[in-house]
Amino acid sequence: PLTSPSNQFTQRCRLDYDGQATCDCPVGYKGRRCESCDINYSGNPLLPGDYCKLSACNPIGSLAQTYDEFGQCRCKDYFVGKTCDQCQERTFYVEDEFKKDCIPCFCMGITDQCTSTSWYRDKITAAFVTSTNNIELVNYET
């Protein structure tokens, strides 16, 4: 898009029907003259010496695979870190077949301090015919 050799990203341009130059952009570039970065790429081809590079933003934790105007990944709610790859304080990471996300701690009002874990939660059901086999529900209050 610029006259400097470091900002000319393709040699395949043609004069289009409207008299304007139109280029075949390489992977990572888009626009009539390859003047912007495609999805999952970041950079600014309009700045001398800059180019489009594959984004390092975490696809699970970032809003887009491109950097903002300050060169930072834009994180989804509850994600932090340079590449949006960590859960913020008082949240934890959850992954199941439907969703991968950081969510706020919920400890039944006891605390808001928690961390992510590789442990899992399961639902156990018990059907009793005549006896409870000494299984009890108890309420532990602190």
Where does residue 35 fall: left (phi above 0), alpha (psi -120 to 50 degrees), or beta otherwise? alpha
Rounded to two decimals, what is the model's pTM?
0.49
Do 72 and 97 fall within a single domain? Answer: no
Block mean pLDDT (10 aa), the chain, length 142? 72 90 91 86 86 86 78 89 89 77 79 71 75 74 58
Please give the residue range of the domain that contains residue 98.
81-142
Domain total of the chain: 2
| Residues 54 and 86 placed together within one structural domain of the fold | no
- One domain for residues 115 and 67: no
- What is the pLDDT at residue 120? 66
pLDDT for the residue 140: 66
Q: What is the pLDDT of residue 121?
A: 66
Contact 55, 29 (CB under 8 A): no
* 40/104 same-domain check: no
Instruction: Note whether 31 and 93 are same-domain residues.
Output: no
